[in-house]
Structure 1
Amino acid sequence: MNKELLRKLPKIDELLKEPLIQKEIDITYRVLVVESLREAIEKFRRNILENKINDFESEDVLNYAIGILTRKKQHNLRKVINATGTVIHTNLGRSLLSSDAVKNAMEVASRYNNLEYDIKEGKRGSRYSHIEELIIKITGAEAAIVVNNNAAAIMLVLDTLSKNKEVIVSRGQLVEIGGSFRIPEVMKFSGAKLIEVGTTNRTHLYDYEDNINENTGILLKVHTSNFKIYGFTEEVELDELVKLGQTKEIPVVEDIGSGVLVDFTKYGFTHEPTVQDSIKKGVDIVTFSGDKMLGGPQAGIIVGKKKYIQAMKKNQLTRALRIDKMTLAGLEGTLRHYLDEKNAIKNIPTLNMILASKDEMKKKAIKFRKKLKNSVYNFKFDIGEDYSMVGGGSMPTEKIPTHVIKVRNESISAAEIEKNLRLNEVPIIGRVFDDEFIIDVRTVFEEDITEIIKALKYMES
């Protein structure tokens, strides 16, 4: 029986003549079509040898190959629908760019541009000039430079100001940035010698003072944005550290991490230090991310005193860490919104989603549920109250009241619903709780509901 079925397997040359395959060759890469046919034939061959099928037709192999080809045609990095309610979702690309930032990036990417050309002077220019004045205006700093992420920013600062020197930092601030990247390892790689002071929960000003010597390069403060310690705790206030640095003529560097440019306490959130506050308090150098609370593309932004920034610009490491034209364009498009706070909140998706009210989320949930109920009949959709998260290692204790849609089906488990939606052509990423699939509407867009409906209807069929 196996021999007969094996002989029945179609040859690739035969399948390539099929009209459906000819059509695919016209619209996609021939190499992908041939690969898909080979994989389909091989799959059927294995199933025959393992006695998993009793019979088949050439059409079955053809359809299986089309399924493989469909997956191969998809980009590996592609759009997903975030139904988790985590606004800055590190695994799902962190912050979304505003339409202005996207437009600016597309225009710069698709045309020649003045990346390193001074149009006014008619000669070579600096790529950093396009955004430095903008960053200075927003933060109040003397100068600025941008590299490819905040870890790179910290490394450049340390390499420039404290290579082969000592860096004093509180033991309670030796954080893991994420993905096993840790502040102590970044410091070691930069050539700086780490001097830990204080304890995990308590550090005093005298801990810094007692460890300062002729080889001290900088005093470093790392904002613990991705965790909080409660109870018997104490840390040195930024004002005190700045005063000590000025007295001892040692630069004070603050890694503020999330890049907050808006005072969130005005909107009912717990206090998060802003870049502007740190500059006003006299910090010599501040580093922060572009793709977290700032709401822009991945970047590490360094602001502070001009003499230190100038030294970094001359550091040979800067070339290895520099950002490209699309990041610059996206960052400029994002930062321009911050010239007016209301404009930033309205147009930057990250800020808009974080600050959207519970009542707004309720109206959104009711609207989305109505669309789901009118299109999908074998699922039940209930609205419930829940909490969204900021994400991205920012405001870890902040819970944002929201409304969610709870999806149930009597014959399909929540785990199966989650898997099917995750494996959808446009992946839909949500969460499961109490045997229900949860859609947090805070991070779901109007156009996403059409795709969710399509995916659920496919599960019904």
Structure 2
Amino acid sequence: MEKNQLLRDLPKIDELLKEDIVNNELKFTMRTIVVETLREAIDNYRELILSGSIDEYSKENILKSFLELLEEKKGSKFKKVINAAGVIIHTNLGRSLLAKKALENVVNVADNYNNLEYDLKKGQRGSRYSHVEELIKRVTGAEAAMVVNNNAAAVMLVLNTLCKDKEAIVSRGQLVEIGGSFRVPDVMSFSGARLVEVGTTNRTHLYDYGNNINENTGVLLKVHTSNFKILGFTEDVSLEELVKLGYESKIPVVEDIGSGTLIDFSKYGFTHEPTVQESIKKGVDVVTFSGDKMLGGPQAGIVIGKKVYIDKMKKNQLTRALRIDKMTLAALEGTLKYYLDEKEAVENIPTLHMILSQKSDHKKRAQRLKEELESKIKNFKFALEEDYSIVGGGSMPTEKIDTYVIKVESDKFSPQELEKKLRENKTPIIIRISNNEVILDVRTIFDKDFDIIVNAFIFLD
């Protein structure tokens, strides 16, 4: 059929609105969205005709396209994905998963009016920070605490409060990029603090700080380089030395510890990562850290330390712009309660459980998934092998966690094609490719998602 005739035969909106399929959708969907989607379906076929991609079609084809487009519009832009990449704190996939109590708290405050800023005992306006401050103090040993919307905001608030129009002394080796092209020097500059770099990339001494202290010094800043390691000919100033210098010079010492580790991972066979509690015990005046990395909670920037400094931050006008909402507070409270008992935290906070769960457990799980795949799929090969997962999120960069994975071979698809097909599955499956092999790492896959993975391969078989 000629292009012009195909174009003339395209149905009108009014005509399609009389169809039973469309009328059924109008019962549940706003008319504006239905009409918009019908127009989009017709336009798509018009483009196919003009490009010569089709030489025939039916009204049913257009209605099918309409239903597919409408299903996309009705769904959320946020999608559940299956993380089969073995990166536990996957920045692109939402970082840490929330624990059960955190989820329950979020639903409770989202579904009801609540005492976000209301003191029930006094019957008057209260502080939103009161819901978590005592809990944070108890877990960390700090005098005072507050929370903002992420750790970069926490650092900016601290420096703006304590160091605006003053100098912040920091080692050159700690001027890190924290992801998304955001850099510590830029955050510091935006806060109004003037950056004073001391030492060199690989070696900084105590006298480098001491020689640069003057009447305009606001803080001595230490940034934990959690997302990289410098090895070899290195020298760093210990927290104890920096705290002593700060005390003698009457200058507050601020530490951005980054990932917010609240348990000592060296007890579980990992390289020691400095904990928040250790920093407080060593006398650091103010410590900042993230809520959604090693802590395993929601996105938040937690500020703890001496009450005199925290009180100043609470009065800073910038705090209102950086404050967190009721759902984040609820999730953070639910997460922190587990830390009152380390065993409970390890068992119930998904991030900690994934990091510390036994390799042998994942071998059994991988075997079960492999058997399910092999029993239903003929044109793929599945092999159970030892491999490793990583923590991710810029945390513990040198650690490799022994695990078991399923390696997938296909004569039909290249590794890159299979990765794309799985990523485009109705429930996207994010895998990793290593040495040109497709890998499913079960450490970051939940048992409840095994069926989705199996069905995705059945569809591709």
TM-score, with normalisation over the residues of structure 2? 0.98
CA–CA distance in 1 between the matches of 2:450 and 2:120?
Answer: 46
| 1:423 and 2:413 matched | no
Residue equivalent to 2:294: 293
CA–CA distance in 1 between the matches of 2:33 and 2:170?
Answer: 54
CA–CA distance in 2 between the matches of 1:111 and 1:383?
Answer: 48
Q: Deviations over 1:94-140 (max 9, x none)?
A: 00000110011110111000001111111111110111000000000
Residue equivalent to 1:27: 28
CA–CA distance in 2 between the matches of 1:35 and 1:447?
Answer: 37
Residue equivalent to 1:324: 325
Question: Quick one: which amino acid aligns to residue 68 of structure 1?
Answer: L
| 1:174 and 2:160 matched | no
Q: How far apart are 1:434 and its partner, in Å?
A: 4.2
CA–CA distance in 2 between the matches of 1:161 and 1:169?
Answer: 15
Question: Quick one: which amino acid aligns to residue 261 of structure 2?
Answer: V
Question: Quick one: which amino acid aligns to residue 136 of structure 1?
Answer: K
SS of the equivalent of 2:400 reads: strand
**1:7-406 alignment, distance < 5 Å:** 7-406=8-407
Gaps of 5+ in 2: none
CA–CA distance in 1 between the matches of 2:38 and 2:376?
Answer: 36
CA–CA distance in 1 between the matches of 2:18 and 2:397?
Answer: 58
SS of the equivalent of 1:176 reads: coil
Gaps of 5+ in 1: none
Question: Quick one: which amino acid aligns to residue 36 of structure 1?
Answer: T
Residue equivalent to 1:453: 454
Which 10-residue stretch deviates more, 326-335 or 1-10? 1-10
CA–CA distance in 2 between the matches of 1:29 and 1:228?
Answer: 54
CA–CA distance in 2 between the matches of 1:144 and 1:379?
Answer: 54
Q: How far apart are 1:441 and its partner, in Å?
A: 0.4
Which 10-residue stretch deviates more, 5-14 or 258-267? 5-14
| 1:6 and 2:7 matched | yes
CA–CA distance in 1 between the matches of 2:443 and 2:180?
Answer: 26
SS of the equivalent of 1:145 reads: strand
Which 10-residue stretch deviates more, 376-385 or 112-121? 376-385
Which 10-residue stretch deviates more, 213-222 or 76-85? 76-85
SS of the equivalent of 2:229 reads: coil
Q: How far apart are 1:25 and its partner, in Å?
A: 2.1
Q: How far apart are 1:357 and its partner, in Å?
A: 1.8
CA–CA distance in 2 between the matches of 1:20 and 1:131?
Answer: 51
SS of the equivalent of 2:303 reads: strand
Question: Quick one: which amino acid aligns to residue 394 of structure 1?
Answer: S
Which 10-residue stretch deviates more, 68-77 or 227-236? 68-77
SS of the equivalent of 2:178 reads: strand
CA–CA distance in 1 between the matches of 2:344 and 2:59?
Answer: 59
CA–CA distance in 2 between the matches of 1:46 and 1:186?
Answer: 47
Question: Quick one: which amino acid aligns to residue 278 of structure 1?
Answer: S
SS of the equivalent of 1:87 reads: strand
Question: Quick one: which amino acid aligns to residue 239 of structure 1?
Answer: E
SS of the equivalent of 2:292 reads: coil
SS of the equivalent of 2:425 reads: coil
SS of the equivalent of 1:288 reads: strand
CA–CA distance in 2 between the matches of 1:109 and 1:38?
Answer: 37
Residue equivalent to 1:432: 433
Question: Quick one: which amino acid aligns to residue 111 of structure 1?
Answer: N
Q: Deviations over 1:409-434 (max 9, x none)?
A: 22222222211111112111112234
Q: In structure 2, do the counterparts of structure 1 residues 174 and 113 end up closer, same or farther at CA, with 3 Å as the change threshold?
A: same
Q: How far apart are 1:331 and its partner, in Å?
A: 0.1
SS of the equivalent of 1:14 reads: helix
SS of the equivalent of 1:417 reads: helix
Question: Quick one: which amino acid aligns to residue 220 of structure 1?
Answer: L
Q: Deviations over 1:199-225 (max 9, x none)?
A: 000000000000001111000000000
CA–CA distance in 2 between the matches of 1:257 and 1:420?
Answer: 36
CA–CA distance in 2 between the matches of 1:407 and 1:252?
Answer: 51
Q: Deviations over 1:265-297 (max 9, x none)?
A: 000111100000000000000000000000000
User: How many residues of Structure 1 are paired with residues of Structure 2 in the alignment?
Assistant: 460
SS of the equivalent of 1:397 reads: coil
Q: Deviations over 1:39-75 (max 9, x none)?
A: 2211211221222211111111111222222222221
Question: Quick one: which amino acid aligns to residue 419 of structure 1?
Answer: K
Q: How far apart are 1:30 and its partner, in Å?
A: 2.8
Q: How far apart are 1:29 and its partner, in Å?
A: 3.1
CA–CA distance in 2 between the matches of 1:446 and 1:10?
Answer: 47
Question: Quick one: which amino acid aligns to residue 48 of structure 2?
Answer: N
CA–CA distance in 2 between the matches of 1:35 and 1:390?
Answer: 44
Q: In structure 2, do the counterparts of structure 1 residues 273 and 108 end up closer, same or farther at CA, with 3 Å as the change threshold?
A: same
Percent identity between the two aligned chains:
65
Q: Deviations over 1:304-328 (max 9, x none)?
A: 0010001111111111111100000
Question: Quick one: which amino acid aligns to residue 388 of structure 1?
Answer: S
Q: Deviations over 1:159-194 (max 9, x none)?
A: 110111110000000011111111111111111110
CA–CA distance in 2 between the matches of 1:32 and 1:270?
Answer: 54
Q: How far apart are 1:435 and its partner, in Å?
A: 4.3
Question: Quick one: which amino acid aligns to residue 95 of structure 1?
Answer: S
Q: How far apart are 1:4 and its partner, in Å?
A: 1.5
CA–CA distance in 1 between the matches of 2:206 and 2:351?
Answer: 36
CA–CA distance in 1 between the matches of 2:326 and 2:429?
Answer: 31
Q: How far apart are 1:32 and its partner, in Å?
A: 2.6
